[in-house]
Structure formats: structure tokens, C-alpha cells
A and B are shown apart, each in its own frame.
Chain A
Amino acid sequence: MELYEYSAAKLSAMMEQGEISARELCESVLNRIETTDREVRAYLTLQKEEALKQADEVDKLRRSGEALPPLAGIPVGIKDNICTKGLRTTCASRMLHNFVPPYDATVIKKLRAQYAVIPGKLNMDEFAMGSSTETSYFQKTANPHDLTRIPGGSSGGSAAAVAAGSAVVALGSDTGGSIRQPASLCGVVGLKPTYGAVSRFGLVAFASSLDQIGSFGRTVEDAALLYDAVCGPDPMDATSVRRDVTPITPQLHPSVKGLKIGLPHEYFEEGVEESTKNAVMNAAAELEKAGAELIPLSLPSTGYGLSAYYIIASAEASSNLARFDGVKYGYRTEHFETLEQMYENTRSEGFGDEVKRRILLGTFVLSSGYYDAYYKRAKMLQQQMTREFVSVFEQCDLLLTPTTPYTAFKLGERIDDPLMMYRCDVCTVPVNIAGLPAVSLPCGRDDMGLPIGMQLIGPHFSEARLLNTAYSYEKLIGGFPPMPRLSGKEGAK
């Protein structure tokens, strides 16, 4: 087995015991990138020299006898909408093709304090708008399980890199499913934390009331390790919640005895593939066998989730993206005489079609005469959906649903139909609307061998319960399947 194949938890222990060095691990991951990324195309920017320097620093500290945190020396891939000081951060947009942040996002500061190694920045849908990573200005990322298919999105680069072994763990962001959906399609674990659990300072804003940074790993423990490293309050983000934080990873233990798991029937209805429903229900049966209680229940407003989501997210996006005007940073058109022309041409040349659609929709729903009919009603619906979640959590500890209605589709299959693309998010958007935490984890394959994911949703700040349940399931099935084979020079096994 090659080093890049191991879990972060295992690698951390191996480094601590002196069995391997951080440099050896870093070289293994950089080699893996070298052999597979021409096909997978997960990375937008690499910093090999800097990563090796960071790894050497870890080895030096370790030799001096210093006790190091668990992520020390672990290569962590970073979604390209998270600001990294001195390292280009593009949001996969022409608008920021040349942007080099003068500061680190809070999550990056925390990773540096843990001596994590950052090999590079990962592809995504432009400004995180999309569900397939195909709206990236730069390149299309392939699903490591089938290179002719999409990895999901918008954090498709993060999910694909972790699935392919070209990162051990990765950070992504989730506004309507952008961590959970690609995790599901790439067969890895993806955690979307409670709104306010992780600082958004330095995350390029898409929809500020819904965005949240979260973690990817090939095991539940790895996703938990990375979450533990980046969560917590931050004076630089007024929406980060002031509360005490206890690391979750050391508490993980496989047990679901007496756990009440709700199954909301709206998430298993039309549009969800039979193979997905069956896989999730089989997982539910496994958990029941291990002592959990299954409770069928209803979340009646679920069907309105997509409407509320696309109104609120687009409205916030149209405001947030007003800052891209060609004045202070990023792309500036060459074709202008007046200031107005400079704004319009910069934005028209700098943004792709999906970003333009969302800006137009957001501007429309906020415009005079339409605000009450759209935005205000969507905000009221948001409260109603939140109340429904609160009330079902009086009957159960968490909910189990499919993450996505279907497995990975072909590259190019849906890119020309925005509505088809939006429907990918039907099972994930309600979670963001209510600000809840949720985790997606693998629960089987369809008849084409493509990964199926299930989603566990919990009350606010129930990350420990969610991850523990996910961890229990992982142990019950004897671990998740190994990495997919890739046709690069060295296969996965």
C-alpha cells in the first residue's frame, strides 16, 4: 500500500511513531498528483516546493522532540474559494484568475498552526455556483470512479482529490449541498457543519447566510479530524457562534444503541432513483440491527426547499458579487472609456453564464415590486422549514436521507439545462436553509458501480452525534470500499 492511500489518522500515528516522515508522505501525495491529475484535473494551482518545505519543517520540529497536533504533516487540499496568503485564489473564475490574497482565511491560519501541509488549490464551480464543477472557467474535473462522469459540485475538486488520493483530506464549502453532493458522487465522507460552527472569514462569499466551510475525508474519523482543526468562534466573523468547542475525534466510538433515526418520506419520493432508495434503506436496516430505532416521519415543506434556496442564495449572491467591478482586484476589461463601461464590460467578460444567471435572478427577486412576492416569502418559508426540523427533532435524534437523487452523470449531460442541474440539490438545500449540520457518507454502489451516498442530518451543533453515527455505520460495514483504480502509471492497488 502506498502512503497516499492511508487515512489521515493512521498517517498521523505513523509519523508520530517515526515510521514515516512528513516528507515521504508529501512526496507520495505529490507523485500521486503527478500520475493522476492529468486525468482527474482536481487541482487548479500546485505549490510543490512550498509543500515540501512545510513537510520538512514538520520533520524538523518532530526531531526536536516537540509534541505535534494530529494534522501536522498531513497534506490538506483547499477549495479555491478559501483565501491562502501568497497563493492564487481564483474561485475558478476569470474574474479572480490573477488574485493573490494578502491574507489567510481563518481556517487556513488554523491549519498552519497545526502544521498541515498544503499541496495546492482545488477546482470548483465558478464562485461555487453549480453542481458538477463544470462551470469552472479553467477546467472540468473528472470523477475518479468513472473519468467520463462529473465529480459533483461545487466542491468537485476537493471530493475528487480525496477520492483519488491526491489529497489525504480537503476543505470545501457548502451553500446548498456543495460538500455533501460531490462527497456522495465520489464515494467519500463530507461534513457540512452547523451555520456558525466554522469561521467564514476569508471564504469568498456566495450566499453569506447559507455558506459554511466543511471537511472531506476517506473515513469518518478523517473528516472529524479536519473539522476539529478548523471549527470554533472567530472575532473576524460576526456570524461564528461563541461557544465552547470539544474535539470530536477522541470521542468517536461505534454505538447506535437506542439512537432514534427519523426517515422523512419526502426525501424518498419521485425523482430519487430506486438503487439510491434501496441503498439508503439497507443502511437504515443495518443501523436498526445494531440497536437504532427507525421512525418514519414527515417534513411537509421539503418540496419548497429548492424555490426558497434559489431565491435566497441568488439574492445574496447578487449583492455579494457586486464587489467585482475591476477596480481593486481581479480582472479588468480592456474595453472601456467611462467608469460605467468599465464595470459592465469587466463583469460581462469576467463572469461565466451560471454566475450571470444567479446575479440576474437575485437582482430580479430583490427589485422593486418583486421583493415581497419572492424574497420575503422565501425568508418566511425558511422559518417554516426550520420550525419543521425543530419539531421532528423532538421525535428523533437525527434524520437519514439520500444525499442526492441519483449517482454521477456524464460530463456535459446537464450543463445546458440549468433546471436539471438545480434539481441535483433537492435533498441537500433544506439543511442549509435551516442552518443545520449534515454529513454524507458512502452506502453502496449502483449497478454501474458508481458510489451512492446517504445523508445524516442533526439538530444545530450536533456534529458529534452525526459523526459518531456515521463512524458506527462505517465500522458496521467493515469500512468503506478502497480507492478506485485509476489508469495512471501506478494503480490504486
Chain B
Amino acid sequence: MNIDVRHIAKLSRLHLNEKEIPKFTEEMEKILAMVEQLPPIEGEGTLLDPDHPMELREDKAETLYRRDELLANAPEVEAGCVVVPKVVD
């Protein structure tokens, strides 16, 4: 299986340099060769467990955290907001 690592990296928002491309390509091809070993299989791939339906909490506002505590981890903060590069002119 050929894999376009450059394209997959772009989708993953990862930047790989020219040295890394052949290394990751080779590794990904080996890993894919391993995981491709799946049997022919019929049926539906349902994702939910019927025995344990998940319950959502009641949609009710609660104050669990303080804004300044949450923002304390942000790399750049101004006026109670996180700062990112300009995206519109």
C-alpha cells in the first residue's frame, strides 16, 4: 500500500521535514501492512452498547471553574481572551 504521508501530515496539521518524510513513509507502510491483516467480515459496525445507554446530564448551567483559572494555562491572554494570530484582514 502506497501512502501519501505528505497529504496525511497536512490533514493532521503536522509539518514533516524532508528527512522525516521517507522515514515516516516507510514506518507507516510497515504498520499498515500489519493492520491490513483483517479477516473478511460481515455485519454492521454499530458503535453503541445497547446494555449501557449513555445518560447525559441535565442541561443546566453550573459554575464549575473560574475564568481566570482556566486562562492561566493559555500561552497568551489579553482582556480575558486567548490571543491567536490575525485570521481576517
Identify the A interface with B (CB < 8 A): 98-100, 102-103, 196, 209, 235-236, 238-239, 241-242, 301, 303-304, 306-308, 310-311, 318, 322, 325-332, 336-340, 342-345, 347-348, 351, 356-357, 359-361, 363-365, 367, 374-381, 383-384, 418-419, 422, 435
The residue of chain B having its C-beta at the shortest distance from the C-beta of A364 within the complex is B8
B61 located at the interface, meaning its Cβ lies under 8 Å from any Cβ of chain A in the complex: no
B80 located at the interface, meaning its Cβ lies under 8 Å from any Cβ of chain A in the complex: no
The residue of chain B having its C-beta at the shortest distance from the C-beta of A377 within the complex is B38
Known contacts A100-B73, A103-B64: does B8 contact A304 (CB below 8 Å)? Answer: no
Known contacts A238-B56, A363-B8, A379-B45: does B14 contact A102 (CB below 8 Å)? Answer: no
Query: What mask results when residues 1 to 33 of chain B are scored 1 for a CB within 8 Å of chain A, else 0?
Result: 001010011011111100000001001101110
Q: Are A238 and B14 in contact (CB under 8 A)?
A: no
- A340 vs B13: C-alpha distance in the bound complex, in angstroms? 8
- A238 vs B11: C-alpha distance in the bound complex, in angstroms? 29
- A329 vs B41: C-alpha distance in the bound complex, in angstroms? 42
Q: Are A311 and B35 in contact (CB under 8 A)?
A: yes
B89 located at the interface, meaning its Cβ lies under 8 Å from any Cβ of chain A in the complex: no
Of the listed residues B39, B44, B75, B82, the one surrounded by the most CB atoms of chain A closer than 10 A to its CB is B75
The 7 closest A-B pairs by CB, nearest first: A379-B45, A329-B73, A332-B75, A102-B69, A238-B54, A344-B15, A348-B15
Count of B interface residues, CB-CB < 8 Å = 49
The residue of chain A having its C-beta at the shortest distance from the C-beta of B24 within the complex is A360
Known contacts A356-B24, A379-B45: does B37 contact A343 (CB below 8 Å)? Answer: no
Q: Are B38 and A359 in contact (CB under 8 A)?
A: no
- A356 vs B34: C-alpha distance in the bound complex, in angstroms? 18
The residue of chain A having its C-beta at the shortest distance from the C-beta of B71 within the complex is A328
The residue of chain A having its C-beta at the shortest distance from the C-beta of B56 within the complex is A238
Q: Are A339 and B31 in contact (CB under 8 A)?
A: no
Contact with A364, one of B3, B37, B64, B76 (Cβ below 8 angstroms): B3
